[in-house]
């Protein structure tokens, strides 16, 4: 990682700020996994890392390598796009399975299905 010392100070400062902010937000999200007590609350915590954390760290990476190699580097944008496109899939899967299980167990904390009786059949063909 010696070439990182070639980074001029004017670029190093924003890169450091972005990196520290991004990792602090991701850390806060991970702390949320411990601190929040319900499963549904915990669903929210990792999205901190998936949205702001990813964006800030990718920005830092873009600036670093753009300055070091002296050209525009924008393919990190793809990481941001793909992370944002794919996180809903896992989140919805986790959320729906939790919801399904809570309903089967008859938990009172979850809202009933609007259509009532056919909760089982409609959940099967999702």
How many angstroms separate the CA atoms of 37 and 95, rounded? Answer: 15
Cβ at position 9, least distance to another protein in Å: 27
Cβ at position 68, least distance to another protein in Å: 14
Three-state secondary-structure class, residue 117 = coil
Cβ at position 42, least distance to another protein in Å: 10
**Is 65 near another protein (CB under 8 A)?**
no
- Whole-angstrom CA distances from 126 to 32, 43, 90, 96, 102 are 30, 20, 14, 10, 17
In the chain, the largest separation of any two C-alpha atoms, in whole Å, equals: 66
**Is 75 near another protein (CB under 8 A)?**
yes
Going residue by residue from 81 to 110, which x/- string records binding to another protein, judged by CB under 8 A?
Answer: ---xx-xx--xx--xx--x----------x
Closest CA to 16 of 67, 50, 70: 67
What are the residues whose beta carbons fall under 8 Å from the beta carbon of 13, sequence distance 6 or more? none
**Using CB under 8 A as the criterion, which residues of the chain lie in contact with another protein when the complex forms?**
25, 28-29, 31-32, 35-38, 40-41, 43-45, 47-48, 50-52, 73-75, 77-78, 84-85, 87-88, 91-92, 95-96, 99, 110-111, 113-115, 122
């Amino acid at each position: 990682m010696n070439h990182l010392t070639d980074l001029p100070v004017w670029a190093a400062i924003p890169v450091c700020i972005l990196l520290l902010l991004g990792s602090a937000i991701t850390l806060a999200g991970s702390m949320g996994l411990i601190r929040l007590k319900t499963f549904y609350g915990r669903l929210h915590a990792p999205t901190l890392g998936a949205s702001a954390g990813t964006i800030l760290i990718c920005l830092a990476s873009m600036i670093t390598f753009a300055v070091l190699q002296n050209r525009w580097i924008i393919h990190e944008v793809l990481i941001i796009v793909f992370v944002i496109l794919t996180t809903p899939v896992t989140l919805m899967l986790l959320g729906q399975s939790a919801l399904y299980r809570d309903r089967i167990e008859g938990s009172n904390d979850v809202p009933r299905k609007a259509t009532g009786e056919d909760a089982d059949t409609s959940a099967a063909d999702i």
